[in-house]
Amino acid sequence: MLIRPSIAFCASISLSLSIFCGNARASDNLGVLGSKPKWDVLENYQETITHDEFAHLINDVYCTHGFANDLIKIDNDSAQILTNREPRKIFTLHFASDTNSKARVPRLWRPAKSLPPPKANKPLAGLRIALDPGHLGGKWAKMEERWFKVGESKPVTEGDMTLRVSRMVATRLRKLGATVLFVRNSTDPVTPKRPDDFKELARKILIKNGVPMPRTDVLDPKDPEKEQTIRWQSQILFYRYSEIRRRAVLVNSKLHPDLVVCLHFNAEPWGDPGSPTLTDINHLHLLVNGSYQEEELDFDDERFEMIRRVLGRAYDEELPIADTIATSMAKATGLPAYQYPTTLITTKVGTSGYVYARNLLATRLYRCPVVYCEPYVMNSNDVFARVQAGDYDGTKEVNGVQRKSIFGEYADGVTEGLRDYYSKARGL
Ligand SMILES: [Zn+2]
């Protein structure tokens, strides 16, 4: 039960949510550090969506693994959505009778088609793009287990690499006219909380999950039972749940972007970070929000956040953006599409073959289109050599092939995708 799932390395967030379902409040069934849902807000979305659009998004994107009968009931004119099990409460969403009679969708972000026409060489003019470099850097990388080192080589730390790529992407996007915002622009966390703030919650979660007397400390990094310690759990509550929820507050209440691009590097399991396993496997995929598991839908806050996302219609915009970036990144990197070893948590969507729907904290909570990039296996022989080569101008021979720097290649791939999408969508 307390095994940390790591099916897709960077994105192993939602599984932990469903496993560690502890929460001190008895009346609300909330996910870890979740907020009480504000169902009244959804009144603003009455008659903004037709029955067919709603049913399509629920069945083909968000609830592809099914859901308990009492959670969502779709009739011809309305949907009944369970807001609370005890006492039983329902939110009724009324559908628009047809496409022409739809009310305007209330939202702060702007789809490409609603932006004014840009100048010829500025396809991103007027657009607000937030860049979200995945994880933390510097001294936090080891705690986050986004750190490994081969012999005397430089350590590979995902959170520093994503920040580096984000800054390179920012320069490129600004040249194309975008206003670029950073969700994180230092190696430090966005959340003011620290692991010690979560000791008590960590203890409660462990007890609830069948560890009656949890140990305080991890005795050694290879300790097989480290996940059952208060130290380890309080660190996860800090760097994952608290950090990403704080980033969501920043995105939703301060940055107000039209799009968030989350930048990550992927990995295959590497074992001992001081003596990691290197592999020949290397791949690329992108994620958008969707594909909720039944047990995730059971949480009142997650169900609410999903319905809000369905009604905000971010998918209509983020899917074609993800597909376009996937195509440009596949061209830039030459990488094959990642194939998840299970279909239980993801659903392939779009046309490029590289994009999956998956329910991650960031893709669910940022209230605008979100594209989550997962290129490169950091502990592949090829990527490891390219990371060690660092950033450089032009091309250089790495592993016998002339290549751009991996950071420049990543930044160019993302930029080209955004340029292509917005140029086409804005009629350039
Ligand atoms: Zn990551």
Cα–Cα nearest to 230, from 197, 194, 206, 208: 206
Please give the distance, rounded to the nearest whole angstrom, from the Cα atom of residue 18 to the centre of ligand 1.
Answer: 19
Cα–Cα nearest to 29, from 245, 230, 304: 304
**Residues 403 and 396: beta-carbon distance below 8 Å:** yes
Instruction: Note the residue count of the chain.
Output: 428
Please give the distance, rounded to the nearest whole angstrom, from the Cα atom of residue 173 to the centre of ligand 1.
Answer: 22
Please give the distance, rounded to the nearest whole angstrom, from the Cα atom of residue 261 to the centre of ligand 1.
Answer: 13
Please give the distance, rounded to the nearest whole angstrom, from the Cα atom of residue 158 to the centre of ligand 1.
Answer: 7
Q: Are strands 259-263 and 284-288 parallel, antiparallel or unpaired?
A: unpaired
Cα–Cα nearest to 289, from 91, 121, 57: 57
Q: What pLDDT, in 10s, does the model give residues 192-248?
A: 999 999 999 999 999 999 999 999 987 777 778 889 999 999 999 999 999 999 999
Cα–Cα nearest to 315, from 346, 362, 349: 349
pLDDT at 162: 98
pLDDT at 119: 85
Please give the distance, rounded to the nearest whole angstrom, from the Cα atom of residue 403 to the centre of ligand 1.
Answer: 23
pLDDT at 399: 85
Please give the distance, rounded to the nearest whole angstrom, from the Cα atom of residue 56 to the centre of ligand 1.
Answer: 30
Which residues, chain by chain, have CB under 5 Å from ion ligand 1? Answer: 10, 134, 264
pLDDT at 18: 37
Please give the distance, rounded to the nearest whole angstrom, from the Cα atom of residue 397 to the centre of ligand 1.
Answer: 27
Which helix H or strand E contains 330, and what residues bound it? helix 314-333
Which helix H or strand E contains 14, and what residues bound it? helix 14-19
Residue 361, CA atoms < 13 Å, CB-side half-sphere: 30
Which helix H or strand E contains 420, and what residues bound it? helix 406-425
Please give the distance, rounded to the nearest whole angstrom, from the Cα atom of residue 416 to the centre of ligand 1.
Answer: 22
Please give the distance, rounded to the nearest whole angstrom, from the Cα atom of residue 305 to the centre of ligand 1.
Answer: 22
Q: How far apart are CA 231 and CA 217, in angstroms?
A: 5
Please give the distance, rounded to the nearest whole angstrom, from the Cα atom of residue 160 to the centre of ligand 1.
Answer: 11
Please give the distance, rounded to the nearest whole angstrom, from the Cα atom of residue 189 to the centre of ligand 1.
Answer: 15
Please give the distance, rounded to the nearest whole angstrom, from the Cα atom of residue 55 to the centre of ligand 1.
Answer: 32
**Residues 372 and 362: beta-carbon distance below 8 Å:** yes
**Low-confidence spans in the chain with pLDDT less than 70:** 1-27
CB 316: neighbour CB atoms within 10 A? 13
CB 49: neighbour CB atoms within 10 A? 24
* Sign (positive or negative) of CA dihedral 131, 133, 139, 143: positive
Record the pTM.
0.93
pLDDT at 27: 61
132: exposed, middle or buried (Cβ count in 10 Å: 0-12, 13-18, 19+):
buried
